[in-house]
Structure 1
């Protein structure tokens, strides 16, 4: 298992990054939370999780060890795959995920695309007692940067499974209301409104 990578950040998108280590480029799927924490510097240290399936080996990246551990706990729940867990950590911060589960807030978990009432309840039942260690570790990261990222946000939403047509109306409305919104903010708000 690949536990972490230290190397050169070659490419950065809202849903993925490419890190070069020893001449090899590693493609990592990331959440919006991780995207918001990646500095514009060239060198990067990132925690990873390697998912091995019959048809693929998929590498996920996390700036915080605690986010990776929450991701691993989420995918241990029946009905929550890696894609849904990543969407969850893109719609909500790790802190909000932990809080929603420990507070048994079904509505917050259900607000994530692809999670119905039964799955939300299963997440709470399975993880409520397993997340107490994270309540101290997880910090909310608030970022603000100017907004010229409509296409980047739309591209990320398409990657997360939304059609460009349905995303465009919501993204345009968000930008109209907040011209200074960052890519992460646009996508998070769009995920809550789609």
Structure 2
């Protein structure tokens, strides 16, 4: 099992990043690949989880160990797989997620793609009161990117929302509002899109 990869991020796509470790490119699925744009072509430490299935071995990556801890806790919930857990982590408000779980707010949880009432109640049942060891301070306050272009990143952010599991209808519903948003990067647009989808 891998704990982390230390290498250069050579590619950022709507679905994953590529981390080059001594000439080997590792495809790593992450909650919001565009958070890593500022780290592209720079050596970084990416915490990882390796998922092994009958016909697939995948790596899932995280900015820090607290994000990884929360991911692992979500995987312990019946009905939550790695992709669903990543979609939940893509929302910046992970402290809000923890608060929702601890206060039985299943309505908040059903706003995530693929999470219905039954799964939301299961998340609360399995995780309520069990997230105290996750450092919620490290989960918030992501760095803001300051890039010169704005609108060219809109398309990438919409693709990333689709990759997270939101339907075409859901993404289309917020796309007009995002067009009026003055973001500085794909990450900005993606964060704003997630806020709109969660509201």
Bucket of the pairwise TM-score, normalised by the shorter protein: 0.7 to 0.9
Q: Deviations over 1:78-98 (max 9, x none)?
A: 011111111111135332222
Write the deviation string for residues 33-69 of structure 1: whole angstroms up to 9, x where unpaired.
Answer: x743663351111100000011201100001101101
Query: What does 1:43-192 align with in structure 2 at a 5 Å threshold?
Result: 43-134=43-134, 137-142=137-142, 143=144, 145=146, 147-148=150-151, 149-162=153-166, 164=168, 167-176=171-180, 178-180=181-183, 182-192=188-198
TM (norm. structure 1) is: 0.86
> Please, which moves more after superposition, 133-142 or 56-65?
133-142
2:101–2:128 contact (8 Å) kept in structure 1: yes
| Contact 1:110/1:117, CA 8 A, preserved across alignment | yes
Task: Note closer, same or farther for the CA distance 1:135–1:128 as it changes in structure 2 (3 Å cut).
Answer: farther
Q: Does the residue aligned with 1:91 lie in a helix, a strand or coil?
A: coil
CA offsets 1:69-124 (integer angstroms, 9 cap, x no match):
11011011101111111111113533222221122221111111111111111101
Number of aligned residue pairs: give it.
Answer: 191
Measure the CA separation in 1 of the matches of 2:113 and 2:15. Answer: 16
Worse-superposed segment, 118-127 or 148-157: 148-157
Q: Give TM-score scaled by structure 2 length.
A: 0.84
Alignment deviations for residues 154-185 of structure 1 (CA, whole Å, 9 cap, x no partner): 21122223455652452232221x22361332
The SS at the match of 1:130 is coil
Gaps of 5+ in 2: none
- CA RMSD of superposed structures (Å): 2.3
Change beyond 3 A, Cα 1:101–1:38: farther
Q: 1-side partners of 2:39 and 2:176: how far apart?
A: 26
